[in-house]
Amino acid sequence: MDANLKQEKRFKGIAASPGIAHGCVLLLAEEELTVPRYRVEGDAIENEIQRFENALLETRGQIQSIQEKIRQNLGEDEARIFDAHLLVLEDQALIEESIKEMQEHDLNVEAAVWTVGHRYIEAFGQIDDEYLRERASDLRDVLRRLLSNLTGQALEQIGTHMDDRILVSNDVSPSAAANIDRSKLLGIVTNAGSKTSHAVIMARSMEVPAVVGLGSFTDEVDQDDIVLVDGYEGVVILNPSESTLHAYGKLKDEKTSLEERLLVHSREASTTKDGKEILLMANIETAEEASRSLEFGADGVGLFRTEYLFINADSLPTEDEQFEVYSKTAKAMAGKPVVFRTLDLGGDKMPRESMEMSLGPESNPFLGYRAIRYCLDHDDVFIVQLRALLRSSVHGDVRIMYPMISGSAELKDANQILEDAKSQLRSEGVAFNESVKVGTMIEIPSAAIASDTLVADSDFFSIGTNDLIQYLIAVDRLNDRVAHLYEPTHPAVIRTLDNIVSSARRGDLSVSVCGEVAGDPVMVPLLLGLGIENLSMSPSLLPSVKFVVQNMSMEEAERLGKMALAEPDSTKILENLLDYYTDLMSGL
Ligand code: PEP
Ligand code: MG
């Protein structure tokens, strides 16, 4: 049928990587690998085991070369994703079980490997944990490659088919993504996936628009259909009409010219119309992102999530390895403040099993053994990180911040371990900044309500609204079925922020917000009106937030702050903020 005669159809998914793309679909069906199954008896089993070992080696070589390609094209962090694949190939349990399956059932190697592999995939897939489900997808990817090598069936090389296309697939595995020539890839659309899935990490670093989590979208499209991908709103439009294309064409032009104009102002100071200086900082996870954040006009790093150093590793990073990353970041920021948050593992951020950190699984991981709770229980791990952070403090304005503090006893215990780290370094004659600033993240309701009890032992507060809101409203931040209840303008959130600011002011502490709301230009005037003077966000959000700061006044912000404290209806608060924001943007 002529594409023009086809009906336009809209699908809503998760906005994974911003941007708008329009083009022809490259539908990547899961290739059907035929897995032969036959009886192998007696000594012939030895031959099957030998074939298995050869295939493991061949697969290993292929993954290593993909990893090298990724390292050169995208960088070290992206390449590390393949470490998980290499680990699957070394997994003794998987190897031994496959051999046992061959021996006990007189089975050929392909059938045995398929059976054992799928047993694991199913087990992982049933666990209600995003991280472990991702591991199932790693295992599936490795298994397909292994079987393809055993059976001699070539895996589809999507890179060779790409030609200014929008990739539509059930999921995009890291090794498939590695074969894509990004100059020819317009967009990515997948049935599966979440904001933390590997395909999404890749799409963002390739700056390719992506929408994921669309359920069964691959059943709705045919090869060569025309789609439009709106990575801002998480919408995919199949067979877009002329008028839709026209509207999106305009939107794309507007977004591009808006981003260009905002970037021009991002190098200027973040000062309100009536002269109040606001610090706009970056949330980053790697040393490499530090210089990128400066390009977007960051006044410093307000949140360095150090756990990514641990998540992407097979063993605990040593003190020297950590020092390398922390000092590199501090140097790159050239004297601007850098707030390193100590290890916040647990919840949805789990290390690899090979790390043997005994964090999970738990029935309520967000209420469980995570972050400072783990660190206080493992002061041997904690003190290594604190020593590395202290050592890096001579290379810039390094600050340290503890996550998930629930009360003053934990804060005092953490500070005691920091003192121990300092005494060790002193006795070893190692230099560090004696007056390094130490902050507390306020992201648990108990810490927020009793924030006055934390003032004496903190140099600053930073409010983690992502967790604070999920705990205040009892709404899982990862669960899209209750996402509508996740309201930053809920009166309980506004009052809690107000209380934290009051405690900080009484103790003469600075207070920042480093959760996602800090990067939401609609929320920014309210946060300033409640007395927050420091906001930290993803680097690419800095220009639009800076524009809002530069074009508003504190007088208007304070009016919005008072309105929000008096108004019982969260929707009305949001409407008032939207009105203000719309007015402000009309001046652009
Ligand atoms: C937060 O909870 O707001 C925060 C910044 O930390 P994370 O998102 O890493 O939990
Ligand atoms: Mg948090």
Q: Where are the domains of the chain?
A: 3-30+157-259, 44-151, 266-585
Output the CA torsion 285→287→293→299 (10° steps): 100
Atom from ligand 1 closest to the CA of residue 403 = 6
Please give the distance, rounded to the nearest whole angstrom, from the Cα atom of residue 442 to the centre of ligand 1.
Answer: 10
CA-based nearest residue to 105, from 159, 165, 40: 40
Residue given tokens 């103790």 in the structure block: 507
Report which of residues 287 and 41 the model is more confident about: 287
Given a cut of 90, whether residue 576 has pLDDT beyond it is yes
pLDDT given for residue 440 in this prediction: 98
In testing the pocket of ligand 1, which one of 340, 370, 441, 461 has its CB within 8 Å of the most ligand atoms? 441
- The predicted-structure confidence for 536-546, as pLDDT tens digits, reads as follows 988 888 998 99
Question: What is the percent of the chain with per-residue pLDDT over 90, rounded to a whole number?
Answer: 54
pLDDT exceeds cutoff 90 at 510: yes
Nearest CA to ligand 1 atom 3: 464
Q: What is the pLDDT of residue 424?
A: 98
Beta carbons within 10 angstroms of residue 586's beta carbon: 7
Ligand 1 pocket, 514 CB below 6 A?
A: yes
Ligand 1 atom closest to 463 (CA): 3
Cβ(443) to ligand 1 under 6 A? yes
- Residue nearest ligand 1's atom 4 by CA: 464
Radius of gyration of the chain (CA): 26
pLDDT at 32: 53
Contact partners, residue 542, CB within 8 Å, separation at least 6: 266, 280, 282, 293, 296, 297, 298, 519
Give residue 224 CA to ligand 1 midpoint distance, Å.
41
CA–CA distance, 352 with 54 (Å, rounded to integer): 26
For 187, half-sphere exposure in the C-beta direction (CA atoms, 13 angstrom radius) is: 30
User: Which atom of ligand 1 sits closest to the CA of residue 462?
Assistant: 5
Residues 6+ away with beta carbon under 8 Å from 583 = none
* pLDDT at residue 280 is higher than 90: yes
CB atoms within 10 A of CB 383: 17
**Which of the four pLDDT bands, split at 50, 70 and 90, describes residue 1?**
very low
- Look at residue 264 and tell me whether its pLDDT is greater than 70: yes
Residue 56: the pLDDT is: 92
Q: Which of the ligands is closest to the CA of residue 339?
A: 1
Taking the mean position of all CA atoms in its chain, how far away is CA 351? 14
| Token representation of residue 82 | 């393949």
**Per-residue pLDDT tens over the stretch 194-242:** 554 545 545 655 678 989 888 889 888 887 899 999 999 999 999 999 9
Candidates 224, 247, 223; CA nearest to 235 is: 247
Coil vs helix vs strand at 50: helix
Residue with tokens 């973040």: 270
Q: What is the predicted pLDDT for the residue at 4?
A: 46
Helix, strand, coil proportions of the chain in percent (round to 5)? 55, 15, 30
Burial class of residue 379, CB neighbours in 10 A (0-12, 13-18, 19+): middle
CB 313 within 8 A of CB 381: no
Q: Dihedral sign, CA of 350, 293, 514, 198?
A: negative
Class of domain 266-585: alpha beta
pLDDT at 310: 85
**For residue 101, what pLDDT band results from cuts at 50, 70 and 90?**
very high
Taken in order 356, 362, 367, 368, the sign of the CA dihedral is negative
DSSP code string of 321-353 = HHHHHHHHHHHHTTTSEEEEEP---BTTB---G
> CB-hemisphere CA count at 13 Å for 27?
14
Q: Note the pLDDT tens digit of each residue in 440-484.
A: 999 999 999 999 999 999 999 999 998 999 999 998 876 666 778
Do residues 255 and 276 make contact, with C-beta atoms less than 8 angstroms apart?
no
Q: Report percent pLDDT > 70 for the chain.
A: 89
**89-103, 127-141, 249-263, 559-573: segment of lowest average pLDDT:** 127-141
Residue 3: the pLDDT is 43
How far, in Å, is the centroid of ligand 1 from the Cα of 465? Answer: 7
6 band by pLDDT with thresholds 50, 70 and 90:
confident
Looking at per-residue pLDDT, the higher value among 575 and 265 belongs to: 575
pLDDT at 198: 44
Biggest CA-to-CA distance, the chain: 87
Ligand 1 atom nearest to 303, measured from its CA? 5
CA 355 – ligand 2 centroid, Å: 22
CA 372 to chain centre: 20
The pLDDT value recorded for residue 263 is 84
Q: What is the pLDDT of residues 355-384, one digit of tens each?
A: 667 776 677 888 999 999 999 999 999 999
Range 44-151 has CATH code 3.30.565.10: no
Interatomic CA distance for residues 182 and 192, integer angstroms? 21
The pLDDT assigned to 29 comes to 63
Contact 66, 82 (CB under 8 A): yes
Residue nearest to atom 9 of ligand 1 (CA): 305
- Residue count (the chain): 588
Tokens, residue 451: 């924030």
Is the pLDDT higher at 350 or at 466? 466
Nearest ligand 1 atom to alpha carbon 465? 3
Ligand 1 atom closest to the CA of 464, numbered from 1: 3
465 lines ligand 1 (CB under 6 A): yes
What integer pLDDT is reported at residue 485 of this predicted model? 87
218 CB less than 6 Å from ligand 1? no
* Strand 20-28 with 165-169, pairing: parallel
With cut-offs at 50, 70 and 90, classify the pLDDT of residue 143. Answer: confident
How many angstroms is it from 474 CA to the middle of ligand 2?
14
Closest C-alpha among 169, 192, 52, 25 to residue 108: 52
* 198 is an active site residue: yes
pLDDT at 216: 83
What spacing in Å lies between the alpha carbon of 440 and ligand 1's midpoint?
13
pLDDT for residue 196: 42
Q: Is 391 in the pocket of ligand 1 (CB under 6 A)?
A: no
pLDDT tens per residue across span 308-328: 888 767 789 999 999 999 999
Report, as an integer, the average pLDDT of 84-107. 90
> 3-30+157-259 belongs to which homologous superfamily?
Phosphohistidine domain (3.50.30.10)
307 ligand 1 Cβ < 6 A? no
Cβ atoms of residues 325 and 287 within 8 Å? yes
Mutation to probe ligand 1, out of 466, 473, 478 (largest number of atoms < 8 A from CB): 466
Which pLDDT value is given to residue 242? 94
What span, in angstroms and rounded, lies between the C-alpha atoms of 424 and 139?
43
Question: In the chain, count of helices (H) and strands (E)?
Answer: 22, 16
CB of residue 464 inside a 6 A radius of ligand 1: yes
Give 417's contacts (C-beta < 8 A, 6+ positions apart).
Answer: 375, 376, 379, 382, 383, 386
Three-state DSSP class for residue 196? coil
CA 321-326-331 angle, 5° bins: 125
Let me know if 514 is a catalytic residue: yes
CA quadruple 98, 100, 105, 107: dihedral sign: positive
Q: How far is CA 582 from CA 335, 369, 503, 566, in A?
A: 36, 43, 33, 22
Alpha carbon 363 to its chain centroid, in Å, reads 22
**Which residue has its alpha carbon closest to ligand 1 atom 7?**
466
Non-local (6+) Cβ contacts of 247 within 8 A are none
CA dist., res. 492 & res. 544, Å (int): 27
- Cα–Cα distance, 26 to 224 (Å, whole number): 6
- Rounded distance between C-alpha atoms, residue 526 and residue 561, angstroms: 5
One of 22, 85, 198, 490 is an active-site residue; which one? 198
Number of the ligand closest to the Cα of 537: 1
pLDDT at 421 over 50: yes
User: What's the pLDDT at 402?
Assistant: 98
Residue 137, CA atoms < 13 Å, CB-side half-sphere: 23
What is the whole-number distance in angstroms between the Cα of residue 495 and the centre of ligand 2?
Answer: 19
The single-letter code of the amino acid at 526 is: L
Instruction: Please calculate the CA angle 50-54-57 and round it to the nearest 5 degrees.
Output: 140
- Please identify every residue whose CB atom is under 5 Å from ligand 2, which is an ion: 443, 464, 467
